[in-house]
Amino acid sequence: MSRANLFFAALLVLLVGCTAATIHDNTKTQYMNAVFTSEELTAGGLAMFPVTAGEGQEGYRRPLGDFLSDSLSSAVPGGKVLVWTETMDSLNARDKVHVYQDMVAAYAQTSIIDKQKVKELSEALHVRYGLFCALQKFSSESHTGYSVWTGWNTIHKAEVAAHCLVIDLRNGDVMQEIIGSATSLGGEYNYDSPYEAYAAIMARSVLSQLPGSAVTHPIKGEHKSGSKTLHSR
């Protein structure tokens, strides 16, 4: 084989090998109240509240909220839904934003849901259920190491995690707890997908957990041991 052909063969291997990281979706329902059914959710309606985030995660908060909003109507077929912007607009119009802010602040400090405040939210929004999500983690890192078997190699690792609660706003009861998680681990010829790829997958996966949800994953994946292997586009 000529040098030119060898060069192009090597280049082809490199281009084929350089692919986006495989994203693994590990989202699951941690808790489900026995009385929380698709019929109850459809009849009561669902209001989504702004995604909250910890220190250092603020820049990633809104994209996750937007992806959740994009599919919210499909998560409650035939029921009333409010995306987070509509929720806040309605609360602002009724001068109830401070009620939401006080509730979130109190919950962050005590992990106790103020029943009176969520009832005020329900009355202002005319829905029974609220979806509250907190972005807990987004990390992306690469490191290079040496192995006597493989030589020098680079490992890429990324993770997005969120904690979501569906709360009955009439009485403050938790109806469903969802743990969202999307991760990837790639080798030398993998590169990290953008944050939006992880957020989009996790958002749809979280909403697919709701009872009666018609949300499907935006990309096809292989189901194994309760998790889904998804490939980013």
CB atoms within 10 A of CB 174: 15
How far is Cα 121 from Cα 89, in angstroms, rounded to an integer? 12
pLDDT at position 143 is 64
How far is Cα 172 from Cα 159, in angstroms, rounded to an integer? 31
pLDDT at position 22 is 81
Q: Which residue has the higher pLDDT, 226 or 21?
A: 21
Q: Tell me the residue type at 9.
A: A
Residue 230 lies in a domain: no
The continuous run of DSSP H or E covering 61 comes out as: helix 58-75
Residue 71 lies in domain: 28-138+160-183+195-215
Residue 10 lies in a domain: no
Residue 79 lies in a domain: yes
Residue 177 lies in a domain: yes
pLDDT at position 149 is 59
Q: What pLDDT, in 10s, does the model give residues 1-32?
A: 554 443 333 333 333 345 667 888 989 999 99
The continuous run of DSSP H or E covering 209 comes out as: none
Q: What pLDDT, in 10s, does the model give residues 39-79?
A: 999 999 999 999 998 766 777 888 899 999 999 999 999 99
Residue 76 lies in a domain: yes
- Whichever domain contains 111, its CATH number is 3.40.50
Q: What sign has the CA pseudo-torsion 88, 105, 47, 69?
A: positive
Tell me the pLDDT band of 208, cut-offs 50, 70 and 90: very high
Residue 148 lies in a domain: no
Q: Which two tokens stand for residue 169?
A: 């706003």
Q: What pLDDT, in 10s, does the model give residues 172-195?
A: 999 999 999 988 877 655 556 788
Q: At a CB cut-off of 8 Å and minimum separation 6, what does 158 contact?
A: 21, 139, 140, 141, 183, 184, 192, 193, 198
How far is Cα 19 from Cα 147, in angstroms, rounded to an integer? 23
Residue 117 lies in a domain: yes
Residue 84 lies in a domain: yes
pLDDT at position 28 is 94
Domain count, the chain: 1
Q: What pLDDT, in 10s, does the model give residues 119-176?
A: 999 999 999 999 999 998 877 776 666 666 556 666 677 888 999 999 999 999 999 9
pLDDT at position 160 is 86
pTM as predicted: 0.81
